[in-house]
Amino acid sequence: MNLRTRLSTLAAVTTLALLSACSGQSATVGGSAKEPASGGNAAASGDTINLGAVIPLTGASATIGEDQRRGIELAVEKINANGGVLGKKINVIVEDSGGTAASALDAARKLTSANKVPVVIGEYSSGVTIPLGQFLQQQGLVHMNVGSSSPDVAKIGSLSFSTIGLDTIASKFTAEYLHRNGYRKAALIAPNNAYGSGVADTFKAAFEGLGGQVTNTVLYTEGQTDYRAELQRLRGGSPDVIVYSAYGQESKVLTSQAFELGLSKAVPWFAIYLSMCTADADPRAVEGQLGMDVNYIGPDGKSYEDAYKAKYNQAFATTFSGYAYDAVMMAAAAIEKAQSTEPQQIAAALKEIGKNYSGVTGQIAFDAQNQRSDQPYAVLKYTGGKLEPAN
């Protein structure tokens, strides 16, 4: 092509480059995406302190991601209503992880390079949280895990904190409950990723340690629309209970197809994180199902629940919003305590606060690896569209 065409192409390309580079504003939490963005692209510039969050607003866990966003939103409102942090307003820039590690890392890059946040909250799936946390650790930034429970999360590093308890505790609780109630042969189905394999490994260890037997472990590939073959596999070995854990959309397909195959009537199902598993399920498919889930206790739990209901006109969509809420509150408290937005100092302050913190999800105490050392759980039953405590 001639020189003029070449030059105009170069001009067009350069303009595109400048346009995409000159962004200092991002979608913020504190309203819907349609609200104007608030300014500031450095951690404590002007009158706002910016934190970051990478959560699954799209993908299989979109329902939960949205709920996490709500927890963040409520925390930001509460903090700013009480005077903010270090005399400034707090703002959490929320990015969509898309449910995959690669796009979560992309989002994290944007948050850390373009927005310069000192703390990033996220994600939900262990398969995403772990690479995200590892990246943040490498960058020397604080990571707060609010949804993942794989035991591998504990190995991310000294700057990574979890407001949610890991699977080692959850599986132990499940195994003990099932054993206590006479079940001896369990089949297990969970997603084929760090979370699922974490659940599978920890449950197997706990259940077999009590004298039970795991007849079959099936790790299903996420994102498919047909799981009948996987479900057929669970029959082998005649289990007396099927333990499962699945995210939103896949859980819907799994439970519906199990119902169609008559599998849910033939063998009782027990869910790990019942609210997550039933969030998108067809009510007929999960009626009467038992499962364990995290429990809200704590002096602030009720007022949080009320604030949630008032703002969103419904009861908790999932049980995961509270952890995101607690994370933002703790991060703000840490910044206030450290009187600084330097990641290292925030981390040190978090450790201090985390010795004993009253969160809406209960008492939070970090262990030596900054993981929540104790987690209240409950056994619930899905009845008529709601989760009630099982007797």
SS3 of residue 339 by DSSP = coil
CB of 18 to other proteins, least distance (A): 10
262 near other proteins, judged by CB under 8 A: yes
Nearer to other proteins by Cβ, of 210 and 229: the residue is 229
Q: Degrees (nearest 5) of the Cα angle 96, 100, 103? A: 55
Distances (CA, A) of 135 to 106, 131, 141, 143, 374: 11, 6, 9, 9, 27
Phi and psi at residue 117, in whole multiples of 5°?
A: -80, 150
Site string for other proteins, 175-214 (x = CB under 8 A): ----------------xxxx--x-----------------
Nearer to other proteins by Cβ, of 27 and 390: the residue is 27
CB of 133 to other proteins, least distance (A): 9
Find the binder of other proteins among 31, 209, 236, 299 (CB under 8 A): 236
Stated as kind and residue range, the H or E segment containing 187 is strand 185-191
Find the binder of other proteins among 38, 45, 80, 139 (CB under 8 A): 139
Find the binder of other proteins among 114, 297, 348, 378 (CB under 8 A): 114
Is residue 127 within 8 Å of residue 194, measured between CB atoms? yes
Is residue 162 within 8 Å of residue 99, measured between CB atoms? no
Query: Which of positions 32-61 make contact with other proteins (CB under 8 A)?
Result: 33-34, 37, 41, 57-60
Of 278, 229, 280, the C-alpha closest to 257 is: 229
110 near other proteins, judged by CB under 8 A: yes
Nearer to other proteins by Cβ, of 20 and 313: the residue is 20
Signed CA dihedral, 64, 269, 223, 285: sign only = negative
Nearer to other proteins by Cβ, of 61 and 321: the residue is 61
Site string for other proteins, 266-305 (x = CB under 8 A): ----------------x-xx--------------------
Nearer to other proteins by Cβ, of 26 and 163: the residue is 26
Is residue 145 within 8 Å of residue 267, measured between CB atoms? no
71 near other proteins, judged by CB under 8 A: no
Burial (0-12, 13-18, 19+ Cβ within 10 Å), 378: middle
Contacts of 4 (CB under 8 A, 6+ apart): none
Find the binder of other proteins among 154, 205, 261, 378 (CB under 8 A): 261
CB of 389 to other proteins, least distance (A): 26
Nearer to other proteins by Cβ, of 107 and 294: the residue is 107
Nearer to other proteins by Cβ, of 25 and 373: the residue is 25
151 CB neighbour count, 10 Å cutoff:
19
Nearer to other proteins by Cβ, of 124 and 377: the residue is 124
Find the binder of other proteins among 179, 184, 185, 233 (CB under 8 A): 233
Instruction: Respond yes or no on whether the N-terminal peptide bond of residue 230 is cis (omega within 30° of 0).
Output: no
27 near other proteins, judged by CB under 8 A: yes
